Each structure stands twice: as structure tokens, then as C-alpha cells.
Chains A and B, each alone.
Chain A
Amino acid sequence: MGKTLFEKVWDAHVVTEIAGGPSVLYIDKHLVHEVTSPQAFGGLEKRGIGLFRLDRTVATADHNVPTKDQNLPIKEILSRQQVDKLTENCKKFGVTLYGLGHPYQGIVHVIGPELGITLPGMTIVCGDSHTSTHGAFGSIAFGIGTSEVEQVMATQCLMQSKAKTMRINIDGKLGKGVSSKDIILFIISKISAAGGTGYFVEYAGSAIRALSMEARMTICNMSIEMGARGGIIAPDQTTFDYVKGREFAPKGAKYDEAVAYWKTLQTDADAKFDKEYKWSAEEITPMITYGTNPGMGIGIAEPIPTEASMEESNRATFHKALEYMDFKAGEKLIGKTVNYVFIGSCTNSRIEDLREVAAFLKGKKKAANINAYIIPGSKQVEKQAQEEGIDKILAEAGFELREPGCSACLGMNEDKIPKGEYCVSTSNRNFEGRQGPGARTLLASPLTAAATAVAGKIVDVRGVLI
């Protein structure tokens, strides 16, 4: 029987197996950020050891950083201490750091791919659940806890049990105003926030193949939101072209050799998955979430479900979510006033996202009630946006392109959504309080977020696109 793509990459990285237990998996790249690393560095220190493979480790500061005046010291004391601690640890241990002020700084899952640190066929980990993003290149990429961060620092290996395999096929052509963010919100709404637990998910089908690398990253990014260990997409010409010429990607003959290998990273025709789903792209409309987990998504023109449509065991959670969001079962979201819009995060803060938003906003003005955060994913994205004049288009529409970081994706830095306010967000989590205590998040695509910002209320982007 043939192998799945996941199995091929996995098998190439097994150092040894423990009878009846996990495998020891070799890790090609370890990405580090300020929040989940201090205790791991502390652990190494206690053991009196250093990093096993410094050349496979890269760090950046993203979660705590302000998105204005990054040249000034961080105002919030604890945030500053954590970022300073990272700088201090990287210096002490010799780890490459793209910290604040560095031209490569940015959200960890944005900089890996854009610098060519992320490559097909790799194993990549980071103390952050959205490491699944890097699976878009055909690599096994997943989030780990701090104890595991310490393991990888110390040995470049992890003890891992092999996940089950799932394939999700999306065939066909996406409709007007429908993007990869809608695909993934659609999938999660179908299989629930726990539906992927225990699985590594391969996304396949003609609709996925047609996507750009950045759009593929958006999909893999949210694999964790259905509980999956990670997501993976077979590398193809789109992937090879994206990787070519990037800072740390192989060059010349080495690139050709790599591509020849990467071409073998396809699921064999006779490989078997533990679970398989299939949807057609035509079924998917712009999506939005109404509740407090990413599985609570609906087509934007659809009403919020009613209790009757729900299994008994899900009703309590459903009620609690609606109460928190102050929505009613059965009502529609279109036309609801929203005062905040967040365009950013490792899900949707790449140059294509900004281009799409700018193209939509050109010649329009934001509604008076809207407060918006538009945050590039990295310094490089910021620079590119400026070169393309995107910052000016945004300014003319009444917005400001800020500096890179996680920003209002999570309530850890200065950018927070106030209590009780609704925010249409291009990020990946709508948990209670995720964007600040009491904040109410509605996840959607960059296009839906931009359209909401112009209207001052939730709109179906299909109705406003020319």
C-alpha cells in the first residue's frame, strides 16, 4: 500500500522508535518567540547545557510587541520584560534573533515562509499552536508546549506519537468574494472545533491546488482550530516558485536537487486515510462566526442555527456562546453594527491580504463608527506594502497601516478590543476574551472585514463587489 504525504515526511524524520511508545522525531527547524521560551531557556540553564543545533533555531518577538512606535521602549512593563528576556536569552545561548527593529522581525509564522526558512518536506515546530501554518509547504509543522521547546533546544528531537491521517478534498471553483479563509471556516463549521483531534489533515482537490501559497497558509493556519495536530498541502509548482530565491532557501544546483526531492512528496494513489471528507467549492459562501469557538461558523447570509438543529450535548455550550455574544438563535448577522475591525494575525496579514483589502478600499471611506487595526505580518510585508503604495490607499480610506506583530489577535499587547464590543477579525480565534476581556470576536475573511469597515455593519461582500 502506498504512503500518504504525511507518512513520507514523517518516516524521513524518525530517529528511532520506542516499543509501544512514541517515536523520536528529528526537527529540521525550530522557531522561537518570547512567550513560550523563557521557561525552556531556564530549563537548559538548570541542566547546564546549551542548544544542540543553533543553526536550526530562529527567534523573533511578536506576541507582546506594540504596533506603534516600535522604536521606543515597550510601555507595558511585563511585556517589555518578556521581550528583553528573549533578547538576553538569545544572546546568552547564541540564537539568531530577529527582534524589534530588525528588518526580518514579524509574526513567527509569517517570517518563516517569507524568508525561506520554511521549506517543503521539513519538520517544523514552535511553541505556538498556529505552527500548522507551515504545513502549506508540504512540511509537518505543529505547535508544542514549553517542555517540548526545551526538548528540541536540547536535542533537536521530540517524542511524538504518530497522528491519524485525514484528507479533506475541496474540488471546483470558488465563487465571487469567497477566499481561502472562507474555505477553512466552512470546513471547521462542518466538522466542529474538535473534529480533527488526533489527526493530521491533508488538504487536497482542485480548489486547493488553485490557491496561492499565501492562501494555502491561511488554510493550514487554522487546522488547529478543528483540533488537528496540523495541516499539510502537497508541494507543487506554486510552492517551488514561491520558495525560489528566498533568503534562506537553497540556491542553484541545490535548489534543483531539492525540487527533485520535493516532487516525490505526494500522497500515493493507493494510500489510505483514516478519514476522508469531500466538499465542492461551489457550496462555500463568505463565512462568519457567531459564537465563541471557530466551529461556530455560518454562511454570512444564513441565520444563526437554532437549538432544535443541535445535538443535546452541544446545547449548553451554544447557549453560553450566544449569551456571551449577545446574539439570538435564528437571527441573521447581516446589518449588525460593528465598531471594530481587525485585519492582521498569522492567518491573514500577508502581502496578498493587504493587496486585496487595499484593492477593495481604494476610493472608499471607512464608516465613522469604525475603529480599525490593520497590521502587517512582518517588517518585510510592511515594506512591500509601502513600496506598492498600499499604506497611502489605506490612509485615504481613513485607516492606518501599523507596525508588525500579533496585535489584537490576542489580548497580550496594547491592542485590545473593549469589553462588549463586536470586532470582525481576520484572525483565527473567537474565544471569550481572546481579543481582550469581554471582547466579542466574529471571524471572517479580509474582504468581509474590509467591507464591514466601509459599511460600519456586517455586509455580504458579494453584494458590494463590482
Chain B
Amino acid sequence: MEKFTTIVSKAVPLPIEEVDTDQIIPARFLKATTKDGFGNNLFRDWRYDDKDQPKADFILNDASYKGSKILVAGKNFGCGSSREHAAWALTDYGFKVVVSSFFADIFRNNSLNNGLLPVQVSQDFLNTIFEKEKADKQVELKVDLVAQTIEIVGTDLKESFEINNYKKTCMINGYDDIDYLLSIKDKIEDYEKTSKYLHIVS
């Protein structure tokens, strides 16, 4: 996993609520057996028409947002299926941060496991970002993981966000959970030997 500390970038506004993982990456694109290339099909059915032509009115097809590393979306982002492909599609496309006022549980975990930072802000702050974006597409956001803050660059509008301490350390250092778990294998074996219940349900 790549290390993550601070990101300053233009942000793509997607003021839609309940964006489910079937929209982020439709099931028919889940057939790959590697993690690469999902970015091409990110938001496939919103981004392209039946003839695979880009839909002019979808935000990712607006050239002014090219290279943007931050996606800002309405509440309950990432609900639905557990497919990690949703996180892979977002990171493969180039996003490093998703901002929303609420994230679905599994999506949040999947993102953190892939170096994609879910930043949960208040509904008010989210609305403010959308308003600023409406007025000026060039507006940038700054996300500082160490300080746990997000700000609209060039303004004094700023909010702090929560992140589990352990996950924060992992992201800053680029570790993943599996490295840690592998390092405590002895403890896991001890548990297996001493668990009162394990033999009953085995």
C-alpha cells in the first residue's frame, strides 16, 4: 500500500445520495482475476451510453476535473455489495480520497485496505463544498491525514474528521492488516488451543 499523509487536489462533485457499489462498478465488470484496469469501468452506466460513448452530462466526462484525486459524494456512499472492486475502480481511476457525509461500513473498510481515504464530514460542510464547487470548478480541497482535517483551500472553511487510530497508522506508513496478523500467528494458535468453544463448533 502507498503511504498517505496530505493531498491537495481539485475535487469532483457527485451530489447524489446512496451511491451503491453496483453504480460504482456494475457486476458485469467483476470478472477480472487481477486488481488492475477497473478504473475504465468506474461509474460505467452513468459515464457511458449504450454505444459506449461518453455521456456529456456526467461529471467524470468534464475535462476540467481531469487528474482530480478527490471525489465528493452524497450521503451513504458505497452501500450495497461488498465488492472491493469498487475501491479498486476508484483508486485505479486515480482517486485517493472520497468525501461524504456518511459511508457504508464494508466500503469504508475496503477503502482503508486499499489506501483510499474515506473522509466523513458533516452534512453542512458537504453542502458547503458542493456550493463552492458550483461557483468555481477550480476550487481545491486539502486533506491532511496526520492532523485529521479537511479544508477548502483559500478559505477558512475547515473541518476535522475521525479515523480509527490503528487504521490511520497503517495508512500513514503504508502497512496492511495482513502483515500485522501474520506477525501474531503464535497468539492465533494459542487461541485455537485454549478457546472453550472452538472444538464444539468445529
Contact = CB atoms under 8 A, between A and B. Distances in A.
A39 B34 contact: yes
A448 interface: no
Interface string B141-174: 0000000000000000000000011110000000
A144 B82 contact: yes
B77 to A, nearest CB: 10
B188 A145 contact: no
A433 interface: yes
Interface residues of B, number: 61
Given A36-B82, A227-B104, 11 more contacts: A21-B164, A21-B167, A43-B178, A82-B33, A128-B82, A145-B109, A147-B114, A151-B177, A198-B105, A229-B105, A261-B197
B201 A122 contact: yes
Contact of A12 (B74, B196, B202): B196
Contacts of B55: none
B79 interface: yes
B139 interface: no
Interface in B87-119: 87, 102, 104-106, 109-110, 113-114
B18 interface: yes
A313 B18 contact: no
A193 B18 contact: yes
Nearest to A85: B33
A26 B184 CA distance: 12
B197 A194 contact: no
B195 A12 contact: yes
18 contacts: A15-B184, A28-B201, A28-B202, A35-B31, A38-B34, A82-B31, A144-B106, A155-B178, A155-B185, A197-B104, A227-B104, A229-B105, A293-B20, A314-B17, A410-B22, A429-B81, A431-B20, A433-B26
Nearest to A260: B200
Contacts of A52: 185, 188
Interface in A297-321: 313-314, 316-317, 320
Interface string A224-256: 000101000000000000000000001000100
Contacts, number: 203
Contacts of A28: 198, 201-202
Interface residues of A, number: 79
Contacts of B176: 147
A206 interface: no
A194 B102 contact: yes
Contact of A143 (B18, B82, B180, B192): B82
A21 B165 contact: yes
Interface string A153-177: 0111111010100000000000000
B59 interface: no
Contact of A147 (B15, B84, B192, B202): B84
Contacts of A257: 200
Interface string B10-25: 0000011110101100
B102 A39 contact: no
B31 A81 contact: yes
Contacts of B51: none
Interface string A23-62: 0101010000001101100110001010010010000000
A-B CB proximity, top 4 nearest? A21-B166, A145-B84, A38-B33, A145-B110
Interface of A: 12-13, 15-16, 18, 20-22, 24, 26, 28, 35-36, 38-39, 42-43, 47, 49, 52, 55, 63-64, 78-79, 81-82, 85, 119-122, 127-129, 131, 143-148, 150-151, 154-159, 161, 163, 193-194, 197-198, 227, 229, 250, 254, 257-258, 261, 293, 313-314, 316-317, 320, 410-412, 419, 429, 431-434, 437
A261 B197 CA distance: 8
A159 to B, nearest CB: 5
A143 B78 CA distance: 14
Given A15-B188, A39-B35, A145-B82, A317 B27 contact: no
B182 interface: yes
B164 A22 contact: yes
B133 interface: no
B30 A35 contact: yes
A15 B113 CA distance: 21
Interface in B63-79: 74-76, 79
Given A64-B31, A197-B105, A429-B22, A156 B79 contact: no
B112 to A, nearest CB: 9
B181 interface: yes
Given A78-B31, A151-B177, A197-B102, A129 B81 contact: yes
A52 B187 CA distance: 13
B84 A79 contact: no
Contacts of B27: 63, 410-412, 434
A117 to B, nearest CB: 10
B46 to A, nearest CB: 9
Nearest to B35: A39
B164 A129 contact: no
A432 B25 CA distance: 12
A24 B114 CA distance: 19
